[in-house]
Structure 1
Amino acid sequence: MTVRNPSYDYGTQDFPLQYVTIGEMLEATAQKFPDNEAIVSIHENKRLTYREFDRIVSDLAKGLLKIGIKRGDRVGVWGLNRWEWTAAQFATAKIGAVQVNINPAYRTHELKYALNQSETQSIILMHSFKQSKYKDMLLEVCPELADAKPGELNAAELPHLKNVILMDGEGIDTPTGMFSLSGLINLGNEVPDEELKSIM
């Protein structure tokens, strides 16, 4: 069988590799195309330019640093396609954390396995979607969260997990034991940009 249009190209190339990080590439794009749209989320009625998105990502990255997340730490993200998911992806990359994508179809036993197997220290999650009550499922696996202070979780079934961050764009209150994503972005806004630059 002859393949007319291969799905990938192979062999030597004349294009040099770019030795830049994801965070550096986002910043360069924001400088080059500041007013172009980076995020268009129709179902959330949300549009962000590269300038706006890079500012949010940098503030979120600094907020993650402020609560103790550092290079090499594993940060789970459990939810559907939302602008916050993308912001989390870029923010974790900026600080050198490892993003652990949690399947949004997972139930409690699968969540517990994924978090323990990956030794996830922090998780960013949606509140709920249709019949999937993410917050409630996490509370079922670690009931200690209901009485914990944010950042001080000590759960018997999830011994590595310390930080729970709720995507709060739905206009819901952030339960005890959790940080809100918007709160972390605001917290990061208070941290000098130089602190983030020093680790990138």
Structure 2
Amino acid sequence: MTEIGNFLTCTVDTNYDDDRRHTSIGRCLPHMEIKIVDNNGTVVPIGSEGEIWVRGYSIMSCYDNDRERTAEMITDDRWLRTGDLARMDDDGYLFFIGRKKEMIIRGATNIYPIEIERVILEHPSVADVQVFSIPDPLVDEVVCAFVKLKPETKCEVDELKMFLSDKLTSYKIPEHIRFVDDFTRNVMGKVAKYKLTEDMINILNSS
């Protein structure tokens, strides 16, 4: 993120003795600080999930002429709230989980779209996928997915759900799956997750 202004973590060749490290995003670089915190800003135990907060010489000082936004992002003691979720092991390696604002809450359970996306991408017919949620009056949110298939391949919703049933717990399997040619994007060309929610609601309401 641009607010950090520099690299934050790195994994060098000498760190590759343990296969677990291959799935990490590295360890904190010198002259920077990282901590994983809960919703109250309290450091969580090693191995627990939380938000990445960072502090160091390259962190921005403020948003220009925007004190309110600055206060939302940076604490009084200069910790920057990244909005990224991760866990840290006892050697200081970080393992990325997803974006805090994209986390799905079903009942009392936190669900991370990136975990589900990785499993769906294992299907031989799937080229790309976006997992998100729509509101639900009973369980707060339900999992949904838009899926792009590879050229000249076919896949049915029931087939994909059956594939996922051996790899994911039932509440993580998307309740609503639709196959699409592309995902709604913003002016920068990035996938607009909030628009995907609107798109799915419109599809379900019109069916």
| Band of TM-score, shorter chain | under 0.3
Give the structure with the larger strand fraction.
2
Counting helix residues as a fraction of each chain, which structure ranks higher?
1
Query: What TM-score results when the alignment is normalised by the length of structure 1?
Result: 0.28
Q: Which has the higher contact order (CA 8 A, sep 6+)?
A: 1
TM-score (norm 2): 0.27
